[in-house]
């Protein structure tokens, strides 16, 4: 859909929604809308990213299709979000290419990287890939330096790309860079984002995957996000062990990094699998089908990451370890490379929108409005 047409749909929708306001009690989008009387593209970008796609508003809407005004906030906002993810990505052409064929690009990239790691291991390792290594010591297969160099470079690039995208979005919705660190607003935003407050709706949950309100999406998202966080913590802790204390891996099954990684890995199986299952049962009248590819690609990469990671842990003392390691590393690197161009950015943009909403509330209260 051309951008101008989407903006027109968004403006028309807001003219109805801001005159109705029945949804005011659902989430942050509607009070944020009420701060405004007109809706430019930047306002719509902001509100769209503040929307958590809970869909309560659609089922409550007296103007939803087949009403002639065809009001459909979940779908309209989803389309705006997709546009912001692409528009503000850096470098933008990478995002456009990825979005067009997300799952295929992801799997091909993963395949290439797996092959690369096989090659690197064969070139660098003194041991054969197909024999068991005592204690499951994968540094015997892949030198630590190779991992640090490759993942360090990818990590820096990804952080840069994510940062640029976030800043572009933040400025587009009319905020100053300095306000990204406004302490009270940031604290409030972190609290609301970490609790998924706007999928909770005061305990009712949200209308996902169908009309009946439920907490299932919020919980599966929690499994996914905190699973991801635990895996990240495990890796970081491993680095601290290595650099800080000189303790080299692999660590025992009861060591903190392995416990964190195992719990995280389980979360990253339960969460994405649950979200995928909910997604397949979703009411298609309110989804933006064009995002199906990036959504599924992200879920698949998360699942492959956690499954191969756990397999690696369980089988690290067998002959399969070398191959599994190459596969796992290839998939993890793909996941990282795709972060700035796929579904992952929703977390950043939505958090930024929540932060803006916290700032707006603070400004309103100081103005005494």
Partner 1 sequence: MSEDFSNLDVLVIGGGNAALCAAITALESGASVLVLECSPKSLRGGNSRHTRNMRLAHEKQINPYTGAYPADEMWNDYMRCTGGMTDPELAKMTVYESPSVLDWARAQGVRFQPALAGTLHLSRTNAWFLGGGKSLMNTLYRRAEALGARVLYDAEAIDLNIKDGRFRSATVRIKGQHTVQIAAKTVVVAAGGLQSDLEFLKGAWGAAADNFQIRGTPFDTGTMVKVLLAAGAESVGDPSQGHMVPCDSRSPKFDGGIVTRLDCVTLGLVVNKAGDRFYDEGEDFWGFRYAIWGRLVAQQQDQICYCFVDSKTINKFMPSRYPAIKGNTIGEVARQLNLPVEKVEATVAEFNRAVQPGKFDHTVLDDCKTAGLTPSKTHWAQRLDTPPFYGYPLSPGLTFTYFAVKVDRRAAVLMKGGQPAENIFAAGEVMAGNILPKGYIGGIGLVIGNIFGRIAGKEAATLAKKSAAVASKEATHAAK
Under the rule (CB under 8 A), what is the footprint of partner 1? 15-16, 18-26, 31, 34, 37, 56-57, 59-68, 204, 211-212
Nearer Cβ to partner 1, position 145 or 211?
211
How far apart are CB 285 and partner 1 at their closest, in Å?
10
Cα–Cα distance measured from residue 81 to residue 49, given in angstroms and rounded to the nearest whole number: 6
State the CB neighbour count (10 A cutoff) for residue 98.
23
How far apart are CB 212 and partner 1 at their closest, in Å?
7
How far apart are CB 213 and partner 1 at their closest, in Å?
9
Nearer Cβ to partner 1, position 37 or 284?
37
Nearer Cβ to partner 1, position 27 or 299?
27
How far apart are CB 199 and partner 1 at their closest, in Å?
15
How far apart are CB 49 and partner 1 at their closest, in Å?
22
Give the 3-state secondary structure of residue 206.
strand
Give the 3-state secondary structure of residue 214.
strand
Residues 84/49, Cβ–Cβ less than 8 Å:
yes
- CA atoms 143, 146, 148, 154: torsion sign: negative
Q: Tell me the CA distances in angstroms from 316 to 138, 257, 275, 301, 331, one per residue in order.
A: 8, 15, 29, 21, 17
Nearer Cβ to partner 1, position 57 or 310?
57
Nearer Cβ to partner 1, position 55 or 84?
55
Dihedral pair phi/psi, residue 206, rounded to 5°: -135, 160
Nearer Cβ to partner 1, position 66 or 368?
66
How far apart are CB 73 and partner 1 at their closest, in Å?
12
Cα–Cα distance measured from residue 305 to residue 205, given in angstroms and rounded to the nearest whole number: 29
Residues 297/343, Cβ–Cβ less than 8 Å:
yes
């Amino acid at each position: 859909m051309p951008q101008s047409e989407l903006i027109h749909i968004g403006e028309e929708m807001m003219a109805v929604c801001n005159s109705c306001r029945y949804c005011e009690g659902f989430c942050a989008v509607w009070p944020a809308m009420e701060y405004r009387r007109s809706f430019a593209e930047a306002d719509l970008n902001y509100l769209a990213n503040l929307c958590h796609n809970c869909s309560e508003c659609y089922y409550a809407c007296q103007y939803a299709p087949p009403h002639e005004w065809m009001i459909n906030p979940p779908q309209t906002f989803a389309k705006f979000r997709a546009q912001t993810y692409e528009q503000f990505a850096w470098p933008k052409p990478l995002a456009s290419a990825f979005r067009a064929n997300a799952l295929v690009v992801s799997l091909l990239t993963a395949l290439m990287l797996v092959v690369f790691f096989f090659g690197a291991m064969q070139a660098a390792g003194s041991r054969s890939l197909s024999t068991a290594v005592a204690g499951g010591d994968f540094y015997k297969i892949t030198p630590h330096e190779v991992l640090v160099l490759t993942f360090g470079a990818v990590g820096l690039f990804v952080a840069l790309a994510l940062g640029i995208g976030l800043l572009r979005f933040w400025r587009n919705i009319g905020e100053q860079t300095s306000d990204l660190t406004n302490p009270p607003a940031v604290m409030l935003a972190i609290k609301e984002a970490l609790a998924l407050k706007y999928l909770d709706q005061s305990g009712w949950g949200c209308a996902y995957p169908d009309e009946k309100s439920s907490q299932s999406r919020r919980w599966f998202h929690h499994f996914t996000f905190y699973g991801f966080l635990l895996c990240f913590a495990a890796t970081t802790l491993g680095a601290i062990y290595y650099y800080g204390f000189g303790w080299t891996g692999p660590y025992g099954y009861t060591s903190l990094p392995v416990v964190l990684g195992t719990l995280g890995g389980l979360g990253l199986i339960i969460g994405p699998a649950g979200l995928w299952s909910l997604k397949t049962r979703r009411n298609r009248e309110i989804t933006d089908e064009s995002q199906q590819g990036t959504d599924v690609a992200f879920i698949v990469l998360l699942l492959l990451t956690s499954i191969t990671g756990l397999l690696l842990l369980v089988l690290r003392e067998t002959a399969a370890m070398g191959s599994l390691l190459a596969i796992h590393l290839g998939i993890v690197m793909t996941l990282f490379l795709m972060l700035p161009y796929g579904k992952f950015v929703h977390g950043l943009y939505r958090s930024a929108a929540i932060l803006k909403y916290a700032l707006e509330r603070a400004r309103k209260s100081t103005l005494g409005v």
